[in-house]
Structure 1
Amino acid sequence: MVFALLKYGISKRYPARQEVPLTPDLKAHYDVVIIGGGGHGASLAYHLAKHHNIRNVAILEKGYLGGGNTARNTTVIRSNYTDQRSIKFYAKSLRLYESLSNELDYNMMYSRRGQLTLSHSDGVSRSLRLRADAGVFCGEANEILDRKQIKDLVPSLNLDIKGMPILSGLWHRNAAIARHDAVVWGYAIRACERGVELHQRTEVLGMEVANNKVTRIRTNRGDLSAGVVVQCVAGYSSVVAKMVGLKLPIRSYPLQAMVTHPIKPFLDPMVSSTALHCYISQSARGELVIGGGSDPYELYNTRSTLELKEGLAASAVELFPFIGELKVLRQWAGITDMTPDYSPIMGQSPLSNYWLDAGWGTWGFKATPASGFFLAKAIADNRVPEEIRPFPLDRFERFDLVNEMGATAASH
């Protein structure tokens, strides 16, 4: 076995094909340059090439494909939001996810699980009722469950938590999970097959602006120009926007999560509690994926902390007391780009050829298909489609906010 692996490792001929192409040389000019090689950047490139025949596209990624927040989330896909404008957008993304494996001919390990959001107070129960009604009005499958229905759905859940018993829950039956790495790999592979160039280890160092447009992009591998520039850099949105003189209403916070070692399947739905600031799902491998709210301080760092681990563990054990002896397998953090209204910024910036895909906070993964689909249409037509029109940068000046505070799986 050892010799077989060694022979495979040093061989120049492999049975597996090279799906993600090697990084090519940079060209002097591209029709579209996408800064950020995560799920949103790859999705945008794919939709530009497939639906609009825009193939002279470069994705610039300072690290490796999908190595940022795409690899650092908990893979929840849902549309149970508060504002009808948000619900319609995320519902479209959820529908795209349902057929994404067939669309890209790549196994996303998509699994419809449903999400149960728990209420421990009358006030939260009223809030969940409003979210349920808003979703039903938009055609989404939401309903309120009582204690008996919750127990039937999740028999192992502790309904009588000391000091905060579970009163009711919002059941979002179409919520799902998918393999986060597979999503970005699938989009990138199919985009590159259509002529898109993926440039890994290519860091944008600065940009030059003249006559209200970006005229040159400086990277560690050389300079280039572009007809259109799009930033899709998640937690570093403010940093990259500053390179072109834009100040975004975004603050970046670490968001931590962890998984336990695998155990036999017992939890099919995703369960979240805003009072405990905790949500739990069980992966296909049997691991318990546990996450919560963002850290309470701004930081551009993906370190994990003992304090957060202890808090998540304590909350998880309140919900499922029998998991108290499980060992934590690993812990990680991403960087969330939070806007004042907890909704994204999508569309053209004040610069004529610079577009924004930013401010996703904790919901970037679930928006991956729809963000690429609609932003590609906006760039190709030079007109923002109705679905993303509620999310422009200037809404903060006009006070036309899309308030989704409290609509997270674990409230911030």
Structure 2
Amino acid sequence: MTKSRPSTPFAPPPIMRRRLPLLIAAFFLFFLFRSLLPVFAPNPRRVVGGKWLPDYEVQDVPRYLHHSPYRDAPDHDFERRVSEALSEIEENVLSGNGDRVAEERIWQIRLGDTGAGDGQPERGADSLAFTASNGEWAYTLVTDDPAKHFITEILAAVPELNTLYDSYPYHVMRSDLLRYLLLWYYGGYYADSDVYPAKSIKECPSLAPLFGESINANISLAVGIEIDEPHASPQLMRDWHWIRTYGLIQYTFYAPQRFSPLLREVIVRVLSHTRQHNRYSLPFVGPQYNEKTILEVTGPGVFTDAILDALSDALPTTHSLITASVEADKGINDLVTGTWGERTRRLTWAPFHKIHQPVCVDAQEATAGKSMGGVCVLPINAWGNGQRHSGAEGFGSPQACINHRFGGSWKKDWWHRHFG
């Protein structure tokens, strides 16, 4: 009697074993075809760093003003309560002999990382290089437990802050909100962990107004430019995964003063938009976010809008930046409202398009009774080099102060990593 051979657990059926080499070969040929197609195409697309560059499609009419859908029906009462709670915290700190001038401290955030056995996250080479080049600055790496203590104890009076912070399904969103809160409360310099130095902070030419003999005590925030493509077509925006034709950097920014009114407005907007988004969540499922809504609710979209809107509200309508915005709107009519075609006098992106020197607004330029803290907007080649758009130069640009590798970008899913 012939013994039957024992079957191998989980062994694929014979037909699958025969077809598996064919599937592997087909998969290999697909990737080979995909990589060679740009070379032999009639109008080959450029490949940089192993990725295709999107076709540079532009429109005749630029767009210097974006309207977020989250501002269609905002909860002004909730926003007022959040703003008042933050202002009360500020008043309590300063009345207790707290100093408005920020300590020279670098902040980085690492959430959801318990480290390699000792409970401490391992810092990468970029993070170590950044602090080494700024040795006179103190350094704090904020992890989950200190972040939670900060929110539930120091900022406990902020309406719904802890609930909304916990509602985020992704650490990147908690990190977004946390960086705004930290620099609003403590001030200092925030940098993502994949930011590395081209120059030390104080040697950065674009930050000269904030250091040395030219120090300006009326600036509460310095921000950089990440996207400056007001003529971008809708297709180009889709290719680059942009939600604006312009945008400010929030992977690094500097608050030389505590309690910047600009950052306060960012925090108010983030909490308001999060609350609004959560209202439409499915029961028992929780808030759902995609790339666009993350950028809009906690990322550079809300960061950019809040700062421009806060400046618009605080500056007199005769201010040079607002005058330049209104002048640039002629022929575009994004600012035209009402039946008589009046133009709303407000700040748009226009005065920051293609700047080569910092554009600084002193806090004293605000309308009487308004507070915006003062801001410096740095040109793209200070903090935004290495990109393939917006006039950015390479990492070796003489104007480069910090460079961002985008190595840990949360937007890079499997498809984007392979196909750009």
TM-score (norm 2): 0.21
| Greater fraction strand | 1
Question: Rg bigger for which structure?
Answer: 2
Higher relative CO (Cα under 8 Å, sequence separation at least 6) belongs to 1
TM-score (norm 1): 0.21
